[in-house]
Amino acid sequence: MSSRFFTTDALVIGSMRYSEADRIITLYTKERGKISAVAKGVRRTKSKVGGRLEPFSLVKMSLHSGRGSLYTVVGVETVRTFQGVRDELFRMEEGARLLSAVRHLFPGEEASAPAFNLLVRGIARLSECEDAPTAAGIVLATRLKLLVLMGYAPEVTQCARCGGDGPLYGYSPGLGGVVCDSCVEEAGASCFALSNGAVATLQTLCQNSLAEIKDLELDDRATAEVEQVVAQTLAFHGH
């Protein structure tokens, strides 16, 4: 077998119609990071492969690399379907948010086994969430933990500028953490305010493992503010 063939564990993170019978699948693979592959014939009703390529599925996939950047799916084995994500609308909505973040976050073909394992754990945990706030918490926590893996771990307990634990004002993407009332002026224009609820949520999501996140009193405002922390941190680092 030529070296143009390889097999890897992969998460299906996107899928789009390509022609009458084919689909283009976006994958986050353990061996090569984010790649796209054409799955031929999967839109035919008799295709066995098609059902294995649903977003959120964890598969073992054999691929062939052609001349361009697009791979061709040669074979697929299901490892886990994570059907639970698709069974409830609230899980599906949060899951879609996570996959969209992953598609935008990673450049092509840059492998990271820790990021791959984190995503698998995040989707596994999401597939069994019992309520919408927990599902939102799991997805936000997974995104925060991805930031940590990328080297952008936010300081969430003490002021990122003076190290004090005085009343916290908000978050500074430039300083990479929360800042206290006395440091706001020096923290620069990118600094924005956080409610007490958002600071507490940020701390809970950063300090607990995905398995420990449950029964969160996650309100819409705190969620939106933590979203802002993730988005602004990535923007500051050029993502």
Binding region for Zn ion (CB under 5 A): 159, 161-162, 164, 180, 183
Q: Which two tokens stand for residue 70?
A: 């697009």
Nearer to Zn ion, 53 or 202 (CB): 202
Q: Closest distance between Zn ion and the C-beta of residue 35, in Å?
A: 43
Q: Closest distance between Zn ion and the C-beta of residue 188, in Å?
A: 13
Nearer to Zn ion, 87 or 186 (CB): 186
Q: Which of 49, 60, 47, 126 lies closest to 87 in space, CA to CA?
A: 126
150: exposed, middle or buried (Cβ count in 10 Å: 0-12, 13-18, 19+): middle
Q: Which of 138, 133, 115, 105 lies closest to 231 in space, CA to CA?
A: 105
CA distance 152 to 173: 10
Q: Closest distance between Zn ion and the C-beta of residue 168, in Å?
A: 9
30 CA to centre of own chain? 14
Q: Closest distance between Zn ion and the C-beta of residue 75, in Å?
A: 56
Q: Closest distance between Zn ion and the C-beta of residue 144, in Å?
A: 22
Nearer to Zn ion, 61 or 191 (CB): 191
CA distance 67 to 58: 26
Q: Closest distance between Zn ion and the C-beta of residue 202, in Å?
A: 16
